[in-house]
Structure 1
Amino acid sequence: MTVRDDTRFMSSRRGLLAAGAVLATPGIARAQARFPDRPIQIVVPWPAGGSADVQLRSIGDLCTRALGQPVVVRNQPGAGGTLGPMTVAQQARPDGHTLTQMHLSVLRRPWMMRTPQWDPIADFTHIIGMTGWLFGTAVRADSRFRTWADMIAFARANPGRLNYTTSGIGTTNHLAMETIQEKEGIQLTHVPFRGSNEAVTAVIGGQVDMVCDSSTWAPFVENNQMRALSVWTAERVRRFPDVPTLKELGYDLVVTSPYGVSGPRGMDEGVVRILHDAMRDALLSPENAEVRARFDMPLVYQDTQTYRAFIAERVEYERAMVRRLNLTLDG
């Protein structure tokens, strides 16, 4: 199985009709007269301190200046990064003052449930596509594994003994690791955490053998507390030139998991336009570019209609993949 998770996927079938109709100029004028009239929350479904948390806090700070109201992050981790978006879909008013990070697990997880608790298209107003993650695999600096090949050899000789952590069951990085195990014929033990920062802490503390997650591990590799075994980008990362990609290691995998920002369904399209424009300018600013560079996060900007078309197509892909792999969760 190949995990289709690179930016090339987003360029296909651009002609899909975007969910949510064309933005209407009169609506924009009405929205500008009243929005925002109080602070805006961006619900980040991971613990504080991870790369997405830091990137979206930067977006919030920049949008605060542009919109004249505080734009603040509220962390609500849980359920593999889907608790926060689900809460926004089910409880937030569609007035533009409560938003959430939208990532691929939110599109995938409903189809893993016996009774889906949200519809990733109908229950959200998708606003903007922003960026993705640098994923990779890292171990403690004193680990027995000097290379990826060392890790695979040990896992092959010791089924189930080697454990690894991700940010949750059914996340993109978890599925990538399942794909690798299938290809290699090995069995690893998955130890999910609520976010990559907690996962890194567990590996450094010796509770888990390796982390397979976004780049919260990168500073610890740079200060020699950890060792990177692989990166999951299309090409090697500039600041880790000696670390091979999954493709170089023999896997047809490029994993960046692009994400954006969405709100609950029914938002006024004028409000959407105001939010999109403010967040686009923040995303493309030198300040946010510096944050993304710090975590090696690629720029994956998509305007509202393009992002909605991507979401609609990606939902179909995720639903088909869940069926094909028979992925299920309790509940």
Structure 2
Amino acid sequence: MRATGFIVSALTALVMLASGARAQGWQPTRPIEIVVPFTPGSLADRNMRAVAPLLSRELGVPVAVQNIPGGNGYNRIFRAAPDGQTIGYGDPVAQIALAIVQPQPFDAMKLTWLGHFSAGVQTMVASARGRVASLDALRTMRQPVRCGTFGGISTGAAQCALLGAQFGFPVAFVSVQGPPELVLAAVRGDVDVASLGPTLWRDHIAAGAVRPLLSWSGQRDPRLPELPSLADIDMANLADVTVIRGVAAPPELPAAIRDRLIAALNAAMTKPEWDEFVTRSRLERDWTFSAEYPQTLARAQALLQQNAATLRGAF
């Protein structure tokens, strides 16, 4: 009986050890690479460079950021081994829109989306040197409105195309390298309209170089409370087509690795260093990381698919 009791105790201990191992989850054994498919200095780049040391602390290995702008960056994430050693930044809405009008070597919706730092409110502006004097003036435009984009079709460009379909003005895309270059294009008058996060426009609005037109959100942005929102022009149903500052891993990532990365990202969001970065950058505080996150992208995907003809025509 003593022998039987010893065996039972040993088996119980093994079960407890196994449960503890499952609770602890996957642990990386070598440095993690974060791929940023945007240029250095962009908000995407700054986001990931701010979070990298926090993830390193949580996961116990070095975390390095590598900039690979454009489709090559997304393809690097997509083709990487699903072992947790490669993750990346991405805007799934922009990639869904781009795939509608131009075949891509990867499927953004097959990436393992872990969540987002924020679903950003974007501000649509008109260049003070352009033809667009106000939001209402867009309704009267019959010549193509030059809308700035980058990376093929940016989320802001998709917004411009959707607004054109609603207001009845044609759109012609003008492509630049990235968000900083788009700001300069609007200031110079190389584009008529552009849509980016409000912090990128703040100084140029104050200087009168660009005219704020619209907050692409279901409600007014407290940073620009006088600016109309989509709800003010009866277009709140388009609010899901917004920039998403997301984090993705390769397709078919095992659940244990996914959950460990999600836990590390959630922990990073609670650190004072991250709070200081968000405060300094004046970003939204609507971060979310969860296994169910991919379901939240379905509405945006459906809206873009419904407007596929508009996007193809504008592109």
Which TM bucket (shorter chain)?
Answer: 0.7 to 0.9
The 1:96–1:237 alpha-carbon spacing in structure 2 relative to 1, beyond 3 Å, is same
Q: Which amino acid aligns with 1:134?
A: V
**1:267 pairs with one of 243, 253, 258:** 253
Once the two structures are superposed, residues 140-191 of structure 1 have per-residue CA deviations (whole angstroms, 9 ceiling, x without a partner) of 45666553224544x24xx12x422023444432222112112222123221
Deviation for aligned residue 1:200: 0.5
Distance between the aligned counterparts of 1:93 and 1:329, measured in 2?
A: 36
Match of 1:189 in 2: 172
Give how far 1:31 is off.
Answer: 2.6
2:206 pairs with 1:214 = no
1:300-325 CA-partner distances (Å, limit 9, x unpaired): 41312x113335x4586268436565
Distance of aligned partners of 1:223 and 1:144 in 2 relative to their CA distance in 1, 3 Å threshold: same
Deviations 1:19-63 (A, max 9, x none): xxxxx975565633xx1422x222122222333332222221322
- After TM superposition, the score normalised by the length of structure 2 is 0.77
Equivalent in 302, 306, 314 of residue 321 of structure 1: 306
Q: TM-score, normalised by structure 1?
A: 0.74
- Where does structure 1 lack aligned partners over 5 or more consecutive residues? 1-23
Letter in 2 for 1:63: L
Higher mean C-alpha deviation, range 144-153 or range 51-60: 144-153
Q: 1:108 to 1:230 in 2, by over 3 A?
A: closer
SS of the counterpart of 2:220?
coil
Looking at structure 2, the residues matched to 265 and 99 of structure 1 have their Cα atoms a distance apart, in angstroms, of 11
In the TM superposition, residue 138 of structure 1 has moved relative to its aligned partner by: 1.9
Q: Which of these residues, 200, 204, 207, is aligned with residue 183 of structure 2? A: 200
Aligned equivalent of 2:217? 233
Is the Cα contact below 8 Å between 1:51 and 1:215 reproduced in 2? no
**SS of residue paired to 2:87:** strand
Q: Is the 8 A contact 2:147 2:194 kept in 1?
A: yes
1:308 maps to amino acid: P
In the alignment, what sits opposite 2:46? Answer: 54
**Does the CA-based 8 Å contact 1:108-1:322 persist in structure 2?**
no
Partner of 1:138: 125
Between 102-111 and 41-50, the greater mean CA deviation after superposition: 102-111
TM-fit CA distance, 1:299:
0.8
Deviation at 1:261, TM superposition (A): 1.4
Name the CA distance, whole Å, in 2 between partners of 1:140 and 1:175: 18
Would you say 1:106 and 2:95 are equivalent positions? yes
Aligned to 1:18: none
The reply on whether 1:288 has 2:274 as its aligned counterpart is: yes
**One-letter amino acid of the counterpart of residue 227, structure 2:** V
Aligned residues: 292
* Other structure's SS at 1:267 match: coil
Q: Which ranges in structure 2 are unaligned for 5 or more consecutive residues?
A: 1-18
Residue 209 of structure 1: CA displacement? 2.7
1:128 partner SS: strand
The one-letter code sitting in structure 1 at the alignment partner of 2:296 is F
1:179-214 Cα shifts (integer Å, max 9, x gaps): 211222212322123422210011223322332233
Q: RCO greater where, 1 or 2, for CA within 8 Å and sep 6 or more?
A: 1
191-200 or 281-290, larger mean C-alpha shift: 281-290
SS at match of 1:31: coil
SS of the equivalent of 1:166 reads: strand
Q: Is the Cα contact below 8 Å between 2:129 and 2:189 reproduced in 1?
A: no
Look up the equivalent residue of 1:31 and give its one-letter code: W
Name the residue aligned to 1:3. Answer: none
- Determine if contact 1:63/1:279 at 8 Å carries over to the other structure: yes
Task: State the one-letter code of the partner of 2:81.
Answer: R
Map of 1:39-50 to 2, 5 A cutoff? 40-50=32-42
Cα distance in 2, alignment partners of residues 260 and 46 from structure 1: 13
Amino acid at match of 1:179: L
